[in-house]
Structures are given as structure tokens and as C-alpha cells.
Chain A
Amino acid sequence: MTTPVTTPAPTAAAPAGVRTAPRLRRAKEHRPGRPRRSKLLTVLTSLVVLYTVVPLIWLVVNATKTQSGLANSGGLWFADDFALWDNIRDTFTYGDGIFTRWLLNTLLYVVLGAGGATLLAVLGGYALAKFDFPGKRGVFATVIGAVAVPGTALAVPTFLMFSKMGLTDTPWAVVLPSLVSPFGLYLMWVFATEAIPTELLEAARMDGAGEARTFFTVALPLLAPGIVTVLLFTTVATWNNYFLPLIMLKDPDWYPLTLGLSAWNSQAETVGGEVIFNLVITGSLLTILPLVVAFLFLQKYWQSGLAAGSVKE
């Protein structure tokens, strides 16, 4: 079947079947003839689009309002005064510019966490796809089993363990657990199996290239679309992470954006806390913007990567 989680069998099959060196099948339009476009279907699907975009429109509209404008105007239309630029400036300057610090923290966690996770997944996926090594089945079974373990079930024990190791309240506590992406490993494994003809590796080895060199010069370029996909998804996971930093970090100076926004939001609850919902909303908009832009611009890559991940066996 399509997936590894359901069928561990392909592991055994993959190394045995490498002779055939399957090429990455490109997903193509498979329509017989050209179906008529349907207005009704388009309208129905538009309802789902409406559902997905209304909250986003709400966010954009309300990022333009002052704190009092939020209370005094309808949610889906602009207030009298347009305060977007003021809000953005205030978001970055409020509390000695702590938002900038959170942004930089998030970037740090993404570069180290998502970047590292992608690197490990690419190397590991390549190993699973193109090598037969002692303990391979064990590795595979363990990783697949781990996918079913609720990540949050691990969070508390991980916290206790890290606190014994003195890692809590440091960036490492957030970065280290982010380095493992079983989904990324799976995707790279499927992708490497399909995209790298084994003959090519053999040829490089016959030319006397070492394993590292073979990997970097032959395999890596062929893996590019898969790498972009995994990088994008691990970036989302790290950028949006909330539970892990919530548990691991006490010092607001190490907060990522998600935790910071949540802290600003609950500030209204505390006695004497200043109510800054306008900044929470503007900050939220600024937080999602980079990812939305990345997804829009890298569409071509991640969609082909995802398609490859679901190639049927």
C-alpha cells in the first residue's frame, strides 16, 4: 500500500528490489478527455474556502484597529481609525521590544531544530532506502512504532529528564526534541527509494567515490524536492510549536512567538495587567505571515514532494 506506517513490509522489499531503480513517477493529470467544469461544484467548494478564509480576513481587518476600536466595531469591517502601522510599531516596541526577541528565538529554533531535523531525516531516509545494514528492521520498526506514541505523553518525562540534565530553560530543551521527525524520515525514505537510481550510486562507487562523496554529489541533488518538502513541514512544526516550549521554558527571554503571544493574551487576566488585544492580534498576523508566504512561493516544490510521498507501491 501507500504508506509505511501501515506496512513495514516495504523495508525488506526495498533493498531487495533496488535493482529496478524505480524512477520518481510524476503525478500527471489523468483525466480521460476533459470534464465539463461545474458551477455547482465550484460554489459548494467555495463554501469551504469561505470557512477557511473568514478567520484570516478577520485577523487582517482587526489588526488595523486600536484597542478601543476592537470593542466598538463589527468584526469583519474596519473601524473608523486605521491603526495598522501604529499597531505594528507598537508590537515591536512594546515591553522593550520583547516581540523582536521572540521572533529571533523562533528563528533560532527553526534554523537549528527544523534544519537539523531535515538533515537527520535526509541522511536517515537515504540509509533506509539505499543500504542494507544490521539492525535496519529494528530501526524501522522502532521509528514507526514511535509515530503512534503521543508526543505530548513524552513531554513531561522529557522535561523531568532534561531538568535533571540541567537543560530546561535553555534553547537546547526546545531544539533537541525538534530534531527528530519520524514523518520526515518516512518521507525521505520513500522519496530516496524512488528518486535515486541505484545504478547511479554503483557507478559513482566504481569510479572510486567514497560514501560521503557519493551522497553529496549524486544523491543530494536528486533529493532536492523531497528536502524542500521536509524542510517546510518541519519548519511549520517548529515555528508553531507551543506545548514543548511551554513546558521547557520559564524565562520569557527564551520564548518563541507562540508562547509570547499567549502570554500577552493572558496578561489581560492578571490584576493590573495592561489589555493589549490589538497587539496580540497584530502579533498573530505577523507570526503567520512568513509561513503563509513560504507556502505560497514554494508551492511547486512541496506539492511534488508530497505527491511522491504517496506514490503507490
Chain B
Amino acid sequence: MTTLQPPAAAEPRPAPPPVRRDRRSWKGWGFIGPFAAVFALVFLAPIAYSIYLSLFRDQLIGGTTFVGLENYQQAIKDELFWASLGRVALFLVIQVPIMLGIALLVALALDSGRLYGKSFFRITIFLPYAVPAVVATLMWGFMYGTKYGLVGDVNSAFGWSLPDPLSADLVLASIGNIVTWEFVGYNMLIFYSALRVVPHSLYEAAEIDGASQWRVITAIKLPAIRGALVIATIFSIIGSFQLFNEPSILRPLARNAITTDYTPNFYTYSLSFSGQQHNYSATVAIIMGLITMVVAYVVQLRGMRKGA
């Protein structure tokens, strides 16, 4: 069968017998080429450009000068940057486990086959994913209102005095709630899709052994979808570190609580567009990118090793 493989068209050298060699031609580039070209333009070039920018400084006197790693030194000592990073880190360790936990529980419930109206649950919980962050944040922002919002309604209906979700103490949690609302269904679907392809035979074996539902979940289902769990965690980490839309859209409602350096991303945005500090902004973006990649990488290594 392998000998039937035609050699690449117009191959000058004599076709070698191993098949794998034959397929190694430039033809594939005809298909991947367009993607690679655009990718180079909108991914690689900006990365290279921002590294270049980070090595210069634009000063009122003297114009743009090469400063080596001075921008990086400045960033490492920048308290605003570290404060913003601390905020997203706190956000990350609380919001991500809650969101993924709910998503996993719902996915397991759907997969257990014990729900009435399974497809209704699946599609309804997924729906918020189709809602833009802008709309989600506007909606929740209205609802958070203690005067005219739902929080206000609840207060007046029950005579409670719920705290203002947009106060400085609570605004991070309120943002976490919006993000959870947006992505819980998406993550649920990823877990559910992974659960669906767990081989049938494993469950039969467990049934014969008289394993409990709980045992089936911990011994079969969770290990089987570890890959999906790791992926969802990594994407959530990246998402948390990039946090921008929700705080920036919520800011008009909570000007004192949400500063323009609230998250690292908000900070780079403000540096660039209000401060015109493009070079420093690029430096902060690079550092943030590196931190994100390192954390994602560590999670991946740990996640894949555990019990593997």
C-alpha cells in the first residue's frame, strides 16, 4: 500500500522508498500560507515592535532615545503596576475556581443522565456566552444599582439594606460575578463535550464492580477529562490577566472604586491613550505577557503531571 504513494509532482530526486518522505513537500504551505502571513502581520510583528519600543524612551527634551532596559527597571519598581497585578491575581484565585467549579458540577449533572429536560439546561446555561461583554456589563451595572436597580428593588421589597455592589470593597467581586455569568456556560460545554467521549466500557466495568456514582466521578470521569480541565484553567487564567472590558465599562458607575490602573491591561491602555507613554506601555504589556505565559505554562505542567 505504501508503495502506491505517488511522489510529489516533478520531484527531481529519485523517489525514496519510505513514504513519509514523499509527503514532505512544500504543498502544505499553499494551505497554511495565508494563515501564516496574517499571523505574522498581526501577531509576530506587533510582538517584535513592542520589544523594540520597550527599549526606547520618548522625552520632551532630546526626543526618542535608546535606554536599554531602563523601562523594565522602572516597571519592576512601579507600585501601580504591582497593585493592578495583585488585583487580578486575587480575582484569579477566587473567581476562576468558583466559575470552573459550577461549570464542572453542571457538566457532571448533565452527563449523569439524571436531569429532566437536559438539552434545555445545556443551551440555557450556555446562552450568556453569546452576550457581548459590553451588554453583560451594562445589564449587570443597571441591576447593581441600589437606587433603581435590582439591588434597590430587593432592598425596598424586603426592607433589607444590601451593601452597594459598586462600592470600593465589593466592586472586584461584582466584576467577578459578571465574568462568571458570561463564561460559566462556555466552560460547562467544554467539560460536557469531554465527558461525552469517555469510553462506554469504563462505566460498564465500574457498574459490574458496584462502584458508587461518586466513585465513578472521581476515579473515571475527572481523570478522563483532565486535559479539558487544564485547558479551561489556562484560558481562564489568561482571561483574568487580561481583564479590561468589564472594569472599563463599569467605571462610569463607580469612578472612585475603579481607577484607570485597576488592572494591568487597563493600566497599559491608560498609559498609551491618556498618557501618551507608548514606550512604557509596551514594556508593561510585555512583562504582563511574560507573566501570563509563565503562569499558564506552570499550570499546564502541573496539571498534566498529576497522577498521569
Residues in chain A within 8 A of chain B (CB atoms): 1-3, 5-7, 15-16, 19, 25, 27-39, 41-42, 44-46, 48-49, 51-53, 55-56, 58-59, 62, 70-71, 74-76, 119-121, 123-124, 126-128, 131-136, 139, 142-143, 145-154, 156-161, 176-177, 179-180, 185, 202, 205-206, 211-212, 215, 236, 239-240, 242-243, 247, 257-259, 261-262, 265-266, 268-269, 277, 280-281, 284, 287-288, 291-292, 294-296, 299, 303, 306-307, 309-312
Contacts and interface: CB of A to CB of B under 8 A. Distances in A.
Say what secondary structure dominates the interface of chain B: helix
B306 interface: no
A307 B26 contact: no
Pick the 9 closest A-B CB pairs, nearest first: A131-B28, A133-B28, A2-B227, A127-B31, A157-B50, A240-B132, A124-B35, A1-B227, A127-B32
Contacts of B269: 156, 247
B27 to A, nearest CB: 6
Contacts, number: 336
Nearest to A291: B130
B129 A236 contact: yes
Contacts of B126: 295
Contacts of A33: 207
Contact of A152 (B116, B128, B197, B265): B265
Given A132-B23, A157-B53, A32 B138 contact: no
B167 interface: no
In this complex, which of A48, A147, A277, A306 has the most chain B Cβ atoms within 10 angstroms of its Cβ? A48
Nearest to A266: B252
B76 interface: no
A284 B135 contact: yes
Nearest to B190: A310
B20 A16 contact: yes
Contacts of A70: 148
Given A59-B139, A202-B5, A292-B127, A242 B245 contact: yes
Say what secondary structure dominates the interface of chain A: helix
B197 A154 contact: no
B32 A36 contact: no
B254 interface: no
Contacts of A212: 30
Contact of A185 (B35, B42, B135, B285): B35
Contacts of A121: 35
B222 interface: no
B293 A149 contact: yes
A35 B197 contact: no
A288 B31 CA distance: 34
B199 interface: yes
Interface stretch (B61-69, B77-85, B181-189): B181-189
A46 B278 CA distance: 48
Contacts of B42: 154, 158, 176-177, 179-180
A35 B49 CA distance: 58
B133 A240 contact: yes
A131 B102 CA distance: 41
Contacts of A158: 42, 46
Nearest to A51: B181
Contacts of B115: 37-38, 41-42, 45
A52 B241 CA distance: 24
Contact of A31 (B5, B203, B238): B203
B231 interface: yes
A34 B112 CA distance: 10
Given A49-B121, A131-B31, A30 B304 contact: no
B93 to A, nearest CB: 18
B106 interface: yes
Given A42-B116, A75-B143, A146-B43, A1 B226 contact: yes
A185 B31 CA distance: 12
A296 B31 CA distance: 32
Contacts of A132: 20, 23-25, 28
Nearest to A56: B127
A74 B149 CA distance: 8
A41 B109 contact: yes
Nearest to A150: B242
Nearest to B150: A75
Nearest to B255: A269
A312 B249 contact: no
B288 interface: yes
Interface string B89-114: 00000000000001000100110111
Given A52-B125, A284-B135, A211 B197 contact: no
